[in-house]
Chain A
Amino acid sequence: MAFNIIVLAKQVPDTRNVGKDAMKADGTVNRGALPAIFNPEDLNALEQALGIKDQYPGTKITVLTMGPARAAEILREGLFRGADDGVLLTDRAFAGADTLATSYALSMAVKQMGNFDMIISGRQAIDGDTAQVGPQVAEKLGIPQITYAEAIESIDKKKIRVKRRLENGVEVVEAPLPLLVTVNGSARICRPRNAKFLQKYKHAKTVTERQTENIDYIDLYNARPYLNLTEWSVADVNADPVQCGLSGSPTKVKKIENVVFQAKESKRLTDDDTELEDLIKELIANHTIG
């Protein structure tokens, strides 16, 4: 038994370190100003796919990402950890997409990739934070979804059994393939890069990367076709440009505000007994406590 799995992974700015200059005037994100990382929960998603491959070695894992040219880094990162292939969906016309336009583009790329048994995505990206893209891709492809997955308990050609996290509990569900699963951050963490794969895929590049970086070892790329990372445009996936990017996005950002908190005039105390007893007396007197 072997499965054909697509992992959706997004390159995200590391929002844990956002500076003031991260947003452009038009409300879009200045991604260039932040370190770009593999979205953390997408690593949990990749690990679920790798776990299936451990069990069923013929399984093929393809990482799909939509983003600017440099998002090819995500594909290499996936290969270094054990994925088999990667596809970069990149085109100016994809820019400014909300979740609906993003999922339209991703679903068109999935259709272009042919048959698959399962799509695995992260629950949520740390920049947009919406957790909407997974379910929307599933809807566009007309397949069921299982969100907030913590572990794939079993899988065969017909069905899958998944444990998912609820607010105050857990649920085990069974569903037929093909389907889409979104993986929670509480799932197993991803295995590290594998030295063998790092060697093998170090020079894996998209066409654009080879052009912009002036890499021209034609022979190398002819002899080792797996070093050619697939790069698709709007036209390559037969997408309708109007449904992509800004024009395909029903939600618009009207404005962006930086968060500043109003500082208060605060009373300063030490751990001195009298000061603390006075505070307690005051809180009792004004009925805050007691």
Chain B
Amino acid sequence: MNNVFVYLEIEDGTVAEVSLELLTKGRTLASQLGCRLEAIAAGDKLDTIEKQVFPYGADVLHIFKDKRLSPYTTLPHTSILVNLFKKEKPQICLMGATIIGRDLGPRVSSALGSGLTADCTSLEIGDHEEKKVGKVYENLLYQIRPAFGGNIVAWIINPDHRPQMATVREGVMKKEIADPNYKGTVVEHDVKDYVSPDDFVVSIIDRHVEKSKVNIKNSPIIISGGYGVGSKENFQLLYDLANVLGAEVGASRAAVDAGYAEHERQIGQTGVTVRPKLYIACGISGQIQHIAGMQESSLIISINNDPSAPINAIADYVITGDIEKVIPKLIKYYKKNSK
């Protein structure tokens, strides 16, 4: 009772990165609160899920196995969570701020009448005093999220309703194995007790999912291009530099919108969050929504022909110049000196 729950997103028997990141965060929260961490897996191929999640410190894994639960559709997964939560009364429930999490989370929160905070960038435990009524709430979940296009950060709490629900984007929390030998308990539920046949009214006619070829999130070096790169052809310069350095290419939203780069390369508030060893920002002005996704990079180099571009304020090295000139020189001197 009153534990921390994480809803696992599963594609083809594999737990999504974002869910593992949330288990890592959930482990910390549960230890701080002195309660257990529980995970929910609903789908078809679930045999290896326990091996995947126990190392992250899950104490209990709830299994709901049924062919009809995969691929995900809204209503049956909602029924599972709603009915499970009515029994288990979690204090916290975390989900990915993904297409699935943002489809499921609000539906579950509405059915339970509990609050849901979207796209949190930080989750902390803390107290809250309601001065008007002189009441102190202990160990609430502070759900910290940017809003208003990234211009403000709001601390949201949910004093009176449970579970306290929050969604978090992929890449925001860090994934970390707690103990490779950690052993939890598996609880298999009978899906019939949770889901009614009426829940299967929406059917999937066709589905194309491609494994993402781009892996910017885990790349130690990122060469990122903005609108200032000027064209799709010029973006090739970034790929050339990335090739010699063994890096991935990222992009600002303006570059993605202009068609210079694919959407999955977008970094920032509405893209992925990255924290590489080296981030080279090429022709990126550094608007708040972009910085939100890369400010934790260990070393930042900005290449920009405007010496007062906002990104320069957070860069360790500022190269003032045109990318057309600077990047070929970086490639040349890297080749010359790396041997």
Contact = CB atoms under 8 A, between A and B. Distances in A.
A12 to B, nearest CB: 10
B48 interface: no
B151 A168 contact: no
Q: Interface residues of A toward B: which range? A: 35 or more
A261 to B, nearest CB: 6
13 contacts: A15-B151, A22-B151, A23-B152, A136-B106, A144-B201, A147-B74, A173-B73, A173-B204, A258-B152, A259-B152, A264-B313, A266-B318, A290-B245
* A145, A172, A251, A267 pick with most chain B CB within 10 angstroms: A251
B148 A253 contact: no
B165 to A, nearest CB: 9
Interface of A: 13, 15-16, 18, 22-23, 27, 29, 98-100, 103, 126-136, 138-140, 144-148, 161, 165-176, 249-259, 261-264, 266-271, 273, 276-277, 279-281, 283-284, 288-290
Interface in B116-161: 116-119, 128, 142-143, 146-161
Nearest to A251: B115
Given A100-B113, A250-B114, A172 B205 contact: yes
B119 A267 contact: no
Given A136-B109, A266-B315, A268-B318, A257 B212 contact: no
A176 B200 CA distance: 11
5 interchain residue pairs of minimum CB distance: A271-B321, A250-B115, A15-B149, A251-B115, A130-B118
B158 A250 contact: yes
B261 interface: no
Contacts of A144: 74-75, 201-202
A169 B206 CA distance: 11
Nearest to A101: B115
B148 A18 contact: yes
Given A127-B147, A263-B314, 16 more contacts: A18-B148, A132-B109, A145-B74, A145-B107, A166-B207, A168-B209, A170-B208, A249-B115, A250-B113, A251-B115, A252-B158, A256-B153, A266-B313, A269-B318, A289-B278, A290-B334
Contacts of A266: 302, 312-313, 315-318
B224 interface: no
B18 to A, nearest CB: 10
B114 A139 contact: no
A276 B115 contact: no
Contact of A169 (B116, B152, B209): B209
A171 B204 CA distance: 7
Contact of B320 (A23, A145, A167, A269): A269
Task: Tell me the dominant secondary structure on chain B's binding face.
Answer: mixed
B210 interface: yes
A235 to B, nearest CB: 22
Contact of B115 (A98, A146, A161): A98
A269 B107 contact: no
Contacts of A127: 147-148
B151 to A, nearest CB: 4
Contact of A257 (B119, B152, B205): B152
Contacts of A165: 99
B291 A22 contact: no
B146 A288 contact: no
B70 interface: no
B202 A146 contact: yes
Contacts of A262: 314
Nearest to B245: A289
B121 to A, nearest CB: 11
A161 B291 CA distance: 39
B264 interface: yes
B288 interface: yes
A259 B106 contact: no
Contacts of A15: 148-149, 151
A133 B110 CA distance: 9
Nearest to B119: A129
B326 interface: yes
A288 B277 contact: yes
Given A146-B202, A269-B318, A139 B111 contact: yes
B330 interface: yes
B273 to A, nearest CB: 15
A281 B334 CA distance: 8
B329 interface: yes
Contact of A276 (B159, B208, B210, B319): B319
B149 A126 contact: yes
B334 A264 contact: no
A267 B300 CA distance: 11
A124 B203 CA distance: 24
B106 A135 contact: yes
